[in-house]
Amino acid sequence: MAAGRSLERQVLDKDELDLVAKTHHPAIRELEQADLDALTRRLRERRDRAQAIAHRRRGAARRGQGPGEPENSGVRQKAGVLAEALSRVNKERTRREHEGAAEALQANARRALKLKRANAWRSARRPGAGRTARDGMTPVESGKARRIGSPMEAGRVSQFVRDAQAARDNRG
């Protein structure tokens, strides 16, 4: 479940809160690409640091070297909030990449259509073949046998033969 802004205010310090505030909806769309890259880098550093501290404290508590921390300690919550912020930034980066890809595809399609229309006159102005030496191709007779009757007649005769055979079989 996503952490609310009240949890963010509880577990983050002022600098981290400013970073995470930039990842929420209206502010994240207004960031330039360079600012988004810098924000990603800083969030990753903060998240990795919080995860490392939480991991060390858990290991120390397991070995009996320090006080045990509850499962939902502030450091782990901080790491979770920073991970969610990083996830929002990554989604925004993916959205921008897809948006850029769609724009590039449309631009390429427009360019191809423009080139096609510019070269259309070439295909329309081809000269005719002119006079040829012969009358044309000579017809070649087909090797297939010609049909004698119609398919309808063949079906009627086949049914008649079947019926006659059945009558003979029943007599005997």
Domain-embedded: residue 91: yes
Does the structure show a pLDDT above 60 at 1? no
pLDDT digits (tens, 9 = 90+) for 22-59: 899 888 999 999 999 999 999 999 999 988 988 888 77
Q: Return the exposure string of 154-163: e unless at least 16 CB atoms fall within 10 Å of the residue's CB, then b.
A: eeeeeeeeee
Domain tally, the chain: 1
Domain-embedded: residue 148: no
Assign 155 a pLDDT band (cuts: 50, 70, 90): confident
Range of the domain at 13: 5-118
Q: What's the pLDDT score for residue 70?
A: 58
Domain-embedded: residue 44: yes
Domain-embedded: residue 45: yes
pTM of the model: 0.56
Residue whose tokens read 């990449």: 97
Assign 140 a pLDDT band (cuts: 50, 70, 90): confident
Domain-embedded: residue 166: no
Assign 123 a pLDDT band (cuts: 50, 70, 90): low
Give the integer Cα–Cα distance in Å for 5 and 21.
9
Assign 85 a pLDDT band (cuts: 50, 70, 90): very high
Domain-embedded: residue 123: no
Considering only residues 43 and 10, tell me which one the structure prediction assigns the higher pLDDT.
Answer: 43
Domain-embedded: residue 41: yes
Domain-embedded: residue 20: yes
Q: Give 24's contacts (C-beta < 8 A, 6+ positions apart).
A: 88
Give the integer Cα–Cα distance in Å for 160 and 51.
89
